Amino acid sequence: MNTYERIKELAKLKKISIRQLEINFGYSNGYIGSWKRQTPNSVELARLADYFDVSVDYLLGRTDNPSISNEDSNKSMAKQVMMRMNTNGLTEEDLEDIEKEMETFFKWRLEQIRQEREQGGK
């Protein structure tokens, strides 16, 4: 199943047409349909993954699991941040400690966001 087919399936589950999805996202008519032949850019994939509450890997067909666990997500975010850091002079133990601290932070922050959403929805 390609990216377009995944998005079409997810839209159907949300009871929204592809055209309505295009309108909601400010896309031109047929833009999502062009993904039958090509993969959308990372920004669009991320936006749609957030909208449908699925992983980008699911949209790309790299996994059949639509979502990733918070633990996996936290580790992934920590690794992405660490890749951008200047790690010169840090030992492997230092890097492991930093990764654990970032995972803890991401877990805490995600819980804060959920609580804020729950309070805002009341």
Q: What is the pLDDT of residue 12?
A: 94
Residues 79 and 33 in one domain: no
The pTM for the full model equals 0.55
Write down the pLDDT at residue 122. 47
Based on the fold, state whether residues 42 and 88 are members of the same structural domain.
no
| Percent of the chain predicted with pLDDT > 90 | 26
CATH classification at residue 56: 1.10.260.40
Burial 8-34 (b: 16+ CB within 10 A, else e): bebbeeeeeebeebbeeeebeeeebee
Regarding whether 33 and 10 lie in a shared domain, the answer is: yes
Question: For the chain, how many structural domains are there in total?
Answer: 2
- Is residue 54 domain-shared with residue 78, that is, in the same domain? no
How far apart CA 100 and CA 121 sit, in angstroms, is: 32
Q: Does 25 share its domain with 52?
A: yes
